[in-house]
Amino acid sequence: MAEEKQAKFEDLLVDEEEINEDLLVNTVSTYTKIGSESGELVPQKAYQALTAKEKIAVVLLAQKARYELEMVDEEWLSPTEIANLSGIKSGTVFPAVRGLEEDNYAQNDDGSYRIPTVNIEKTKQFLEGDDE
């Protein structure tokens, strides 16, 4: 007789920091690639059609990928770093990145930002225009 598996409260638990590598790679690669030697972002055609807020979301996701690839020491980016990586003027970056934080895509830690692992799927939907 087959033994039925009983559900346990522990079955509800997930590791919020466990990266869904396929999801991150597929989302980032639509908009930018990462130079294998330099670690620099190489925007793809789809990147140009994005709004400033969407471009910043892509840069933050790409930074997460660069961190996972051990190309950078920090996952967090300051608005100045975001401006340098995205090509967006810093005066535009500040309100856009705060908007990402207010909309619960990005986290702020003392003026530096990142997209938490648990928000990768939500950010992908935002980039695809499928967010609420």
> What predicted TM-score, i.e. pTM, was given to this entire model?
0.86
Can you name the CATH fold of 18-127? Arc Repressor Mutant, subunit A (1.10.10)
Which residues, 6+ apart, have CB-to-CB distance to 104 below 8 Å? Answer: 119, 122
Is 50 exposed, middle or buried (CB count within 10 Å of its CB: 0-12, 13-18, 19+)?
Answer: middle
**pLDDT tens for the 132 residues of the chain, in order:** 455 567 788 877 766 666 788 899 999 999 999 999 999 999 999 999 999 999 999 999 999 999 999 999 999 999 999 999 999 999 999 999 999 999 999 999 999 999 999 999 999 999 998 755
